[in-house]
Amino acid sequence: MDKILIHGGHPLSGSIKISGSKNSALPILAATLLTREPCILRRVPDLSDTHYMLQILMHLGAQVERASGTVSVTAEKVESIAPYEVVRKMRASVCVLGPLLGRCKEATVSMPGGCIIGDRPIDLHLKGFEALGAAVRVEGGNVKVFAPKLVGAVINLRGKFGPTVLGTDNVMMAAVLAEGTTVIEGAAQEPEVVDLANFLNKMGAKIEGAGTRRLIIEGVAELHGAEHDIIPDRIEAGTFLVAGAICGNGITIKRVVPEHVKAVTSALSSCGFRIESTPDTITVSPNGAAKPLELATEPYPGFPTDMQAQMCALLSTTPGISVITENVFPQRYMHVAELKRMGAQVQLEGATAIIQGVDHLLGAPVMASDLRASAALVLAGLKAKGTTEVGRVYHIDRGYEHLDEKLSELGAHIERVKN
């Protein structure tokens, strides 16, 4: 099992390009199951999660070809069953339910495993399928959905902690082949949902309202093949912006959509950093002393929960007292104990972290517990004195394309080693 060693205290500078979005690529890859015709996707990131999704597509009968960042999928014939051994490695595999239900009018998919950052049920997905006319059974660890036909309906997908992104994706993919009109109220507004809707529309779907809380989907008889470029990964972009804030002399991220990371750049600006943007680049640089911050995570366009851990790392060495409240996944603080091992002073009160900035962190052996927590530990290691050793880096490889290599390009002293 690999680990990453970071020798801290070396300033970052220069520029890097942002990869395609993981959270766009996964449902868009699943959406290729909706047509018999070939689909070509570009800028698919080279991640373990995308590899798993391609394995699932092949298990379901699709022909898959991959060359660098371009993936071609032809699902001329598909099976409707995805067993546990195929889907167990990735929670997002549940997004094959919608396209299989839409195309085959039935699907059996093993329940995704639990998640370290808390309970993330799929009840809203199933509620949406039932509203479209599907019968739903959960038995033996499997979700079975089936319907003689799907019929449009009005569905509200807002959950306890806000709209469900994967649920919106899943129901939208089923509804594009339903009879009549489907209205999804309380839809997720994330750019990744918009990207999926744009791809589906290229395939012949009729979806309006993507990016708002209300989606209107006019069902069509069939979809055709299409080509599509995956949007830039806004969480990777945000992570590198925070890296530049933690120990940068000025770094520029390229191939990014500034509007997608506005909540992050606004937070960094409030923290005292200079932010400069063009239509597809953002530069972050020091601008005097950094300042503490009060922050709360919210569904898009609010501050993303997927950037909370990285901000904890930044604020742990920002003078003064900062406060972060996690409103999306209240249990998502597995990184705090590891940051404390490096000398951070963080007190948890329910879903709120109170952070007293310290002069410096000290390198230490730490353990990654989930994707974004592991990124936060790498960022903390960039700032820390001495060497930080991050274990379980397979978490990082789920969602960051060559993170260590990109940080090296910016001047970080970082290496990946085998245990």
Whether 234 contacts 261, CB under 8 Å:
yes
How far apart are the C-alpha atoms of 374 and 224, rounded to whole Å?
Answer: 39
Whether the pLDDT of residue 119 is over 70: the answer is: no
Q: Return the percentage of the chain with pLDDT > 70, whole number.
A: 98
Q: In angstroms, rounded to a whole number, what is the distance separating the alpha carbons of residues 268 and 280?
A: 18
pLDDT at 114 (0 to 100):
43
Q: Residue 240: is its pLDDT beyond 70?
A: yes
Predicted model pTM: 0.96
Q: Are 253 and 280 in contact (CB under 8 A)?
A: no
Specify which residues 12 forms β-bridges with: 248
- pLDDT value of residue 192: 98
Give, in degrees to the nearest 5, the angle at Cα 413 between 407 and 419: 95
- E strand or H helix at 295, and its extent? strand 294-296
Contact 140, 146 (CB under 8 A): no
pLDDT at residue number 139: 84
Domains of the chain: 2-14+232-418 (3.65.10.10), 25-229 (3.65.10.10)
Instruction: Reply yes or no on whether the pLDDT at 94 is more than 70.
Output: yes
Q: What is the pLDDT of residues 392-417, one digit of tens each?
A: 989 899 999 999 999 999 999 999 99
Reported confidence tier of residue 368, pLDDT bands at 50, 70, 90:
confident
> Which has more pLDDT, 61 or 120?
61
pLDDT band with cut points at 50, 70 and 90 for residue 116: very low
Give pLDDT, residue 115.
42
Give CA–CA dist 312/377, Å, rounded.
10
Strand partners, 136: 145
Residues 270, 66: Cα–Cα separation, whole Å? 42
Contact (Cβ atoms closer than 8 angstroms) between residue 248 and residue 260: no
Structure tokens at 240: 């590198």
Euclidean distance between CA atoms 294 and 12, whole angstroms: 26
**114 CB-near residues (< 8 Å, 6+ apart):** none
Helix 191-202 and helix 165-175, axial crossing angle in degrees, nearest 10: 10
Active-site residues, by number, are: 115
Asked if 392 and 377 touch (Cβ cutoff 8 Å), the reply is no
pLDDT-based confidence at residue 84 (cuts at 50, 70, 90): confident
Average pLDDT, the chain: 94
